[in-house]
Each structure stands twice: as C-alpha cells, then as structure tokens.
Chains A and B, each alone.
Chain A
Amino acid sequence: DAGVTQSPTHLIKTRGQQVTLRCSPKSGHDTVSWYQQALGQGPQFIFQYYEEEERQRGNFPDRFSGHQFPNYSSELNVNALLLGDSALYLCASSLLPSSGNTIYFGEGSWLTVV
C-alpha cells in the first residue's frame, strides 16, 4: 500500500519563476492538504482540497494556488517566487476532511529559490 508520494523531491528555482509540485494521496484517501515548512519551524497549513475544490485556506497569498484531479491527486503552484518561499513543501492526505481521521504526510518537496 503506497503512502503519500510527492514529486519532485528537490528543486531549485530562480526568483520570479513559477513552480508546480505534485502529490499522490495514500490509497483510498480523497482529501489532500498542503503545508509549508521553513527551516527550523513547524509546518504551516496552506490549503486543503476535497472533491476537487479548495475547502480551507491558510494565511498564504494568492501566488499559492492548487488543484485536485478526479483521481484525488493534487498540485501546488507557486507564482512569482520569492526567496522566502524556500522551504519544505509537505502534502498530507486523509479520508474525508473529518477531524477524527488519521492524516498521513509525504516526505516533502524541497524548494530552494535563488
């Protein structure tokens, strides 16, 4: 049973560019959330997708956008990259956006903006 998988694992982008990160949820899960983790800090919630719609959003600018596909996989897009966007981006999945359900995280995508 595959867990949450993310790609790419590492990437380097130049300030002002755009980036797309991808996530496949754990088998049987239909809800995907994205988190940003800066070095030395805890993960911060970006947004959550369920039934192909953004259900909740954290305190992140519109430069951060996402998408969920019919097979429940998801993409995170970041436009006009800033140096401060350098972080570990984590994808998490669960069955339904219900607070009692277990959430599983992927290993993350390391983004470096230069």
Chain B
Amino acid sequence: DAKTTQPNSMESNEEEPVHLPCNHSTISGTDYIHWYRQLPSQGPEYVIHGLTSNVNNRMASLAIAEDRKSSTLILHRATLRDAAVYYCILAGYGNKLVFGAGTILRVKS
C-alpha cells in the first residue's frame, strides 16, 4: 500500500486560508488522492479527491503536483468548524483506504 506523509499538526487563524501538504512519492499511476477529515467521536467526512488535475468543490480545493508526488488541500477561509484531523490517503485497487496519522488542524479565533 502506498504511503503518505503529513505534518503532525498545523495551526491557522480564523478567516484565513489554510494549506495542508501531503507527500506521496510512491504513488502509482492509478492511485487517486483522497482527503478526509474527522472530528472527535465522529466518522471520517469526505472532503475531496482527485487523480491528476486540480479539483474544486464547495468545501475545499485540491492542488496536485505535476509529478503527482505531492498534493495540497486548500481551505479557502478557515472557520472554527474546520478544526479536525485531516487525512491524506491514496486509494488504489478496490478503493481501499489506508489511513495514516493525519494532520491535526487547530483554528484560532
């Protein structure tokens, strides 16, 4: 299973953009990059996913490097409700998700 590397924690100010990085140097050509976030005592919440091109949705944007060895999740205006653990995951054959430790995002008011 391909692995991802994320910072243990990050901090942001409310109303400011947040860039959450993820390295995945062993990604294969067919692996999709998925991002999920999880609040305490809740199930993971889907944020965004992509293959090669940058992706945008109502929650966030996903910027994928040209060589696909890294990606960045962008929250355009952080709110207190965005404080969570963010997981960057590579989904390959069969759409199995292999979670790492994730990044704890703290948002300051």
Identify the A interface with B (CB < 8 A): 4, 31, 33, 35, 41-45, 48, 55-56, 58, 88, 90, 92, 94, 96-108
Cβ–Cβ contact B100 & A99, under 8 A: no
In chain B, positions 51-109 with a C-beta closer than 8 Å to chain A are 51, 87, 91-102
A106 to B91, CA, bound (A): 19
Cβ–Cβ contact B94 & A92, under 8 A: no
Cβ–Cβ contact B96 & A105, under 8 A: no
Identify the B interface with A (CB < 8 A): 30-32, 34, 36, 41-46, 49, 51, 87, 91-102
Cβ–Cβ contact B95 & A98, under 8 A: yes
Which of chain B's residues have a CB closer than 8 A to the CB of A104?
A: 46
* Chain B nearest CB, measured from A67 CB (Å): 18
Cβ–Cβ contact B97 & A92, under 8 A: yes
Which of chain A's residues have a CB closer than 8 A to the CB of B44?
A: 43, 90, 105
State the 7 A-B residue pairs at the shortest beta-carbon distance, nearest first. A42-B99, A105-B43, A97-B94, A99-B91, A105-B44, A107-B43, A99-B32
A102 to B97, CA, bound (A): 11
Cβ–Cβ contact B97 & A45, under 8 A: yes
Which of chain B's residues have a CB closer than 8 A to the CB of A31?
A: 95
Residue in contact with A33 in the complex, picked from B42, B93, B96, CB distance below 8 Å: B96
A4 to B44, CA, bound (A): 12
* A31-B95, A48-B94 given; A42·B102 CB < 8 A: yes
A41 to B87, CA, bound (A): 11
Which of chain A's residues have a CB closer than 8 A to the CB of B43?
A: 4, 90, 105-108
Closest to B31 in A: A99
Cβ–Cβ contact A94 & B96, under 8 A: no
Which of chain A's residues have a CB closer than 8 A to the CB of B31?
A: 99
* A105-B45, A108-B43 given; A97·B102 CB < 8 A: no
Cβ–Cβ contact A99 & B46, under 8 A: no
* Chain A nearest CB, measured from B90 CB (Å): 9
A88 to B44, CA, bound (A): 11
Which of chain B's residues have a CB closer than 8 A to the CB of A44?
A: 99
